[in-house]
Every structure is written in C-alpha cells, then in structure tokens.
Amino acid sequence: MSTYKSFIGLEIHIQLNTKSKVFCSCKTSFGDEANTNVCPVCMGYPGTLPALNQEAIRKGYAVAKALHCNLAERCHFERKNYFYPDLPKNYQISQFAAPLGTEGWIEIDYQNQRKRIRIKECHLEEDAGKMIHAGDMSLLDYNRTGTPLLEIVTEPDLEFGDEAEILLHELRRLVRYLGVCDGNMEEGSMRCDANVSINLAGQGLGRKVEVKNLNSSRFVRKAIVHELERQAQILDKGAIVLQETRLWNENRDQTETMRSKESAHDYRYFTEPDLPPFSPDKEFLASLDKILTELPLDRKDRMSKAYGLSAAQADFIAEERPFADYFEQTVKLGADATNVAAWLCGDVQKVVNRENVAVYESKLSANRFASLIKLLDKGTISGKIAKQVLDLVFDEDKDPEVLVKEKGLEQLTDRKTIRGLVDQVLANNSKAVAQIREGDQKPLGFLAGQVLKESGGKADPRIVQEILTEVFSLK
C-alpha cells in the first residue's frame, strides 16, 4: 500500500445577518410564514432591478479583512446561470472575476501546532429559497431567496478531517466575534462543501471530489475521513478517482455519487448588467473597523500570556466574546487571574450549566465573581465554603460578602477555638488516637476531616493540620 498526501479545500457559505436581503428590501427573518418576505425583485419578476444592500457589502468586506484578504478596490457582480426550482430568476447574482476579497489566511491550532490555511477568495452572493418535499409533491418557500451569503473559499491546505472541523470551529467563532453571523451549521446559517483529493507524495494535487450535504462540522470531518479512505482504495488498485460531486449520507456514514462535476464555463457567467461595480471609499473602509475586533485566536494568545492561562483554559475562555470580556472584567476588579480562570472553567461552569444560563448573563455578575474570589484569596472563606457561597449567589441572588456575613461563613482561624474542636474530636475517637500513638499515622486524615466537619467546613484546614501535628508531637 502506498502512502498518499491529502489535499482538502473548503467552500464555506455564511449567511450575513443583515436586516434586509442583499438586493431588495425584504426582511431576512428566519421561520416566518412561507412566502411572506418576498417581493418582485427576489421573486425574479421581469423588469425589476436589484440594488446592493450596504450593510451586506460592509459585513462581507469586514470578514474578508478579518481573514487578512486583499480587499478589492473595485468588485463587481456576475450572473451565474443555472436552473433550480428554488432560484426563480434562473440565475444567481454572485461574484466571479472580481470578488471582494482575495489571498487571505486563517490560522488554526491543531495538535499543539499553529497552522496557516490560505484563503483563496471571499465573494458576496444571494441565497436560494427552500424546497420542502412533502410526500409526492415539493413546496417552495422563497423567504430565504436573496439572503446575503458570503462564500469563503480556502486553498487546499488542509490534510485531515480533524483540521477541517477545527477550521470550521475557528471560523464560526470569528464570525460570531464580528457579530455578522451566528455560525449555526445545524440551522444552515453556515454551510460547508468539502473538496478532497489524494496523490502520491511529491506529485501535487490529486483529482478532487466535492462533497456536499454536510450540515454539521462533525459530518464534514467524517465525510473527509471516509472520502480519503475511499480514494486511497481506488489508487491502491491502480484505478483513477472520478472527478465528481458526492453527497454525504449520514445514515450510511458514507459519501455517494450525486453528479459529475460541472465546471465554471457551464454556468455561463456574465457581468450583471443591472448592478454597478462597487468601489469602497475611505469612509466605507474606515467603517469596517467598527465591525472588526481582536480576533478569537489573537485574544486566546494575549490572554494566555497576560494571565498565565493554560492553552485549554485560554481556548475555553476565548470561545465567546462576552465570555472573554466577563473574564477580563472580573480580573480587572482585582481578583487573581489564575483563580478566576480555574473557577470559571470548573465550578462556575458546572453551576451555570445546571442553571442553563450564560455566566455573563447570570446572577453571578463580574462584580460578585470578583468578590467571591477575593474572599477566597484573602482567606476569609475556604475553597469548600466558596463553593457553597457560589450556590447561594444563584439561590438567593445576593452578593458574596452579604451571604458570608448573613450565614456566618467566615473561615475559622482562631487557634483556640480550633484547638477546642480538635480536643472534642480526639475524645470521641479514642481508637484512632490510640492507633496514632502506636505509630500508625493513617487515621490522621480521618481526624482532620472530623474536625472540619465539626466546624461546619469553616476551620482553616492548614491550622487543623498544624494542631494535630502538635498534639501528636509528629515533628
């Protein structure tokens, strides 16, 4: 069996979340009654004229800029001709010869390595409608027709299914950071086709197969893994991989032939005569910075350095912009970053999952979270009590200091009082005491636990330990 090199390029469509459609003023809202958000323009009636939505082109340029593309000084639109029942004009307005962004890149972290994936281009186009198959008939809903899509095309720089899945995740959080798309693949606001080929090492690209119908990043990974294996088996036999479009069948976990691949000239692209070319002016370019923000991976890097976070913590915290903001706000309020990160990724996460709420919208405001961590850092409360206080914040919607006072939860550090508790526990556990006196230190931990229990979890465990050591003259 030969070893092959693999090449994977993705074509990703993201639905830009503009208020109205890309070439008319119809609403873009999802889930409305069928065919209520339509007009003669998006229904493709003759004699109508498209007009470019400024918000759509702005968001498109902003994503292209975030992907480090060269921004077109002048881009234009073409008609891509094909017949499909959910495309009433019989052509799609898209960009072909002069897309709005070219030659960019995005980085991904895969197996502790950063890898740069080149972006070939980004172009703006209109979405088609939806066909709903109902028994022996098909129904058409044109509400989605004309929704702005930004198509992002990568170069074939990916090699594995895992990498493709990670890239989609990275792109998802990027468009969410920019606030231009919710990145939801299950609902179709982000869609992906995967192009896959293999070849003998050193021989360049192979003959590519395009896989469609991938409505989750997990399916993208699985389809690529399956396709790489299928192509390897073909080449192993000395046969040739057919250049075609295949569909992922999620019930059979395999790709299946759909059609032989069409090529660009089949679409008879020609310049859209009803739309002028678009040239961004200074003002437009400056307005992109209102959308752009520190990107997720940059934020991950900065936070892990600035706060000494582990890679996993930094990834977790950088996942959502408001989540990262919440973390940084808490730290700014004076709480120790290491502790904030540990609690945020651990106990706090458990509680908000249970409560089914995002932490930054929960009863644990950044202020309250910072107070909790500060109480812990100062030794006012123990870690065990801090967990209790955390629950209480959610149950009673009060500040941590207030709760600690009200319930008398301050950590017990008074040696005399703790000594009293120790004596009481020793008196009640004569067997364990005798065992230790005979030189077997095993029951020490048990006794310390009993003292903590007696104190209602409030005794400072370090002091309990010290007193026990003293009592048994263990040093």
**Which has the closest alpha carbon to 60: 126, 118, 3?**
126
Q: State how far the alpha carbon of 119 is from the alpha carbons of 30, 99, 156, in Å.
A: 29, 12, 9
Q: 434: left (phi > 0), else alpha (psi -120 to 50), else beta?
A: alpha
Among 8, 22, 26, 93, binds Zn ion (CB under 5 A): 26
- Judged by CB under 6 A, the number of residues near ligand ADP is 16
7 binds ligand ADP (CB under 6 A): yes
Measured N-to-C along each axis, helices 366-377 and 321-332 cross at an angle, to the nearest 10 degrees, of: 50
Name the residue nearer to ligand ADP (CB basis): 263 or 430.
263
Give me the least distance between CB of 152 and ligand ADP, in Å please: 9
10 binds ligand ADP (CB under 6 A): yes
Name the residue nearer to ligand ADP (CB basis): 183 or 206.
206
Integer Cα distance of 475 and 472 in angstroms: 9
Integer Cα distance of 429 and 468 in angstroms: 13
Q: Are the CB atoms for 36 and 202 separated by under 8 Å?
A: no
Name the residue nearer to ligand ADP (CB basis): 66 or 211.
211
Among 8, 42, 153, 468, binds Zn ion (CB under 5 A): 42
Q: 100 CB contacts (<8 Å, ≥6 apart)?
A: 57, 60, 61, 64, 71, 72, 75, 122, 123, 124, 278
128 binds Zn ion (CB under 5 A): no
56 binds Zn ion (CB under 5 A): no
206 binds ligand ADP (CB under 6 A): yes
Place of tokens 């996942």: 319
Give me the least distance between CB of 95 and Zn ion, in Å please: 20
Interface of this chain with ligand ADP, residues 210 to 269, rule: CB under 6 A: 264
Integer Cα distance of 309 and 297 in angstroms: 14
Give me the least distance between CB of 287 and ligand ADP, in Å please: 29
78-81 and 190-200 strand pairing: unpaired
Name the residue nearer to Zn ion (CB basis): 44 or 443.
44
- Backbone φ and ψ for 205, nearest 5 degrees, come out as -65, 150
Give me the least distance between CB of 37 and Zn ion, in Å please: 7
Among 95, 145, 197, 371, binds ligand ADP (CB under 6 A): 197
156 binds ligand ADP (CB under 6 A): yes
Name which of ligand ADP, Zn ion, none residue 307 binds, using a CB cut-off of 5 to 8 Å depending on partner kind.
Answer: none
352 binds Zn ion (CB under 5 A): no
Give me the least distance between CB of 198 and ligand ADP, in Å please: 8
161 binds ligand ADP (CB under 6 A): no
Among 24, 128, 158, 372, binds Zn ion (CB under 5 A): 24
Among 34, 39, 333, 402, binds Zn ion (CB under 5 A): 39
154 binds ligand ADP (CB under 6 A): yes
Interface of this chain with ligand ADP, residues 260 to 299, rule: CB under 6 A: 264
Name the residue nearer to ligand ADP (CB basis): 3 or 473.
3
* Cβ atoms within 10 Å, residue 98: 18
Q: Are the CB atoms for 95 and 78 separated by under 8 Å?
A: yes
Among 55, 86, 107, 155, binds ligand ADP (CB under 6 A): 155
Q: State how far the alpha carbon of 314 is from the alpha carbons of 276, 364, 389, in Å.
A: 45, 21, 26
Q: Are the CB atoms for 251 and 285 separated by under 8 Å?
A: no
Name the residue nearer to Zn ion (CB basis): 42 or 106.
42
Give me the least distance between CB of 206 and ligand ADP, in Å please: 6
Q: 41: left (phi > 0), else alpha (psi -120 to 50), else beta?
A: alpha
Give me the least distance between CB of 155 and ligand ADP, in Å please: 5
Interface stretch with ligand ADP, choices 2-10, 72-80, 162-170, 414-422 (CB under 6 A) = 2-10
209-214 and 244-249 strand pairing: parallel
Strand partners, 47: none
Q: Which helix (H) or strand (E) holds 260?
A: strand 254-260
Name the residue nearer to ligand ADP (CB basis): 1 or 264.
264
Name the residue nearer to Zn ion (CB basis): 50 or 101.
50
Q: Are the CB atoms for 18 and 26 separated by under 8 Å?
A: no
The binding site for Zn ion (CB under 5 A) comprises 24, 26, 39, 41-42
User: Would you tell me which residues interact with ligand ADP (CB under 6 A)?
Assistant: 7-11, 153-156, 195-197, 205-206, 208, 264
